[in-house]
Amino acid sequence: MNTPLVTFCIPTYNRPEYLRRAIESCLAQICQDFEIVITDNSTNDESAQMVAKIKDPRIHYYSNNGNIGSLASHLRAVSMVRGKYVQFLMDDDLIKPKFLELMVAAFEKNPTVGVVMAPMALIDENDRRIFPKFYLFRTKEYRYRYQVGDGLVERKRVLRDFLTGPEYPCCVPSGLLFRTEALRPTLPFDSEADFAGDVDTCMKIAPHWDFYYIDQVLSAWRNTPTCHTARLHKEGLKIQAWYYITRRCLNNKAVQEMFRDEWDKLVRDSLYFCTCRAALLNGLVAVRARSPKLLMETIQTILKEDSHRINLLRVPFFAIREIVASLFPPRLPPARE
């Protein structure tokens, strides 16, 4: 078999209709040099039957014979990657027809780039564009719009933003394309990273590779009341994961060398970013659920994980700044569609 330029990895679980749409978005690419690897955790054969109806030799379907867990299914998929570039497409997300054409071109022109990223549209269960509110008050037009305009993002800049925020440069794998050479050293995925595994992977790549940003909506993230992110925002997050991936990144010698002239401040600000996210997200969950227990557990975790007590005092100022920025967002030219 000819080696494909790109491998799409699609782990799936019991949602054949969404999976069908995800596959069709791959098949609609302008760049057609790819393969699709599907690893199926489903507890029935509906997805297998649906895939069998799509007669395309580039599709490789593998049943996991039951639910082996998301992490193991992702690892099985990536173990079969043959492409120079790889994308993890969540089975309920979509990509636009120019996704591969533009992202591969960015890679080919920039050999130091390990990840190409682009903003994502938000869609509902019927693939309609939506603009939901996050954190009660912030209207989201895109996910992960990093800057205005295309451009190379040098590793020191993107790594600083992953560590100190105020938002991650990118996260959801459906909006990213990885250079396989850059991704493989990050494996296996770490279960301790929990829900932040996608951030963890990017943070492992950032000390060694530049990123490239395309200011065009090239994918769509499905936001529904039952999606994984929505459930986390209702039930609370294992906030230790943020501190865990941050500390491991800070223990990387390449990171220490990169920021040696500002190390103490970087460490303090990195933990502050974790503390702000923990306090804001789990705090909102606790208020909505009227759960003093969750609120107390969150505060206890922050006090345990962040030794810089000044960081906790700074959190209200972060919250005020976020509210003001949400109520009076900057007027920026839109991303290309």
Q: Per the domain annotation, does 75 fall within a domain?
A: no
Q: Is residue 229 part of a domain?
A: no
Give the residue-averaged pLDDT of 215-233: 86
Helices (H), 80-122: 99-109
Q: Is residue 18 in a domain?
A: no
Residue 147: how many CB atoms within 10 A of its CB? 13
Judge contact between 73 and 38, C-beta under 8 A: no
**Average pLDDT of 207-217?**
98
Q: What is the pTM (predicted TM-score) of this model?
A: 0.95
Residue 185 lies in a domain: no
Which residues, including other chains, have CB under 8 Å from residue 317's CB and lie 6 or more apart?
A: none
What are 238's two structure tokens? 């294992």
Residue 276 lies in a domain: yes
* Residue with tokens 């345990």, as numbered in its chain: 304
Which residues, 6+ apart, have CB-to-CB distance to 30 below 8 Å?
Answer: 97, 98, 100, 101
Residue 2 is predicted with a pLDDT of 85
Q: Confidence class of residue 1 from pLDDT cuts 50, 70 and 90?
A: low
pLDDT-based confidence at residue 154 (cuts at 50, 70, 90): very high
Amino acid at 300: Q
Q: Over the stretch 268-296, which tens digit does the pLDDT of each residue have?
A: 999 999 999 999 889 888 888 889 999 99
Tell me the average pLDDT across 15-26: 98
* Total domains present in the chain: 1
Instruction: Give the closest residue to 120 by CA, choosing from 174, 198, 167.
Output: 174
Range of the domain at 260: 237-327
Query: Helix 240-250 and helix 197-205: axis angle, to 10°?
Result: 10
Helix ranges restricted to H, the chain: 16-27, 46-52, 70-79, 99-109, 155-164, 180-183, 197-205, 228-235, 240-250, 253-258, 263-289, 292-305, 309-327
8 A C-beta contact, residue 144 and residue 175 = yes
Cβ neighbourhood burial of 233 (10 Å; 0-12, 13-18, 19+) = middle
Q: Per the structure block, which two tokens stand in for 289?
A: 């659920």
Phi first, then psi: give them for residue 272, nearest 5 degrees: -60, -40
Cis omega (within 30 of 0) on the bond before 188? yes
Whether 321 maps to a domain, the answer reads: yes
Quickly state the pLDDT bin for 137 (edges 50, 70, 90).
Answer: low
Residue 309 lies in a domain: yes
pLDDT digit string, tens, across residues 38-48: 999 999 999 99
Specify the long-range contacts of residues 253-258, CB closer than 8 Å, at least 24 apart: 254/207, 254/208, 255/159, 255/207, 258/155, 258/156, 258/159, 258/207
Domain membership of residue 207 (yes or no) is no
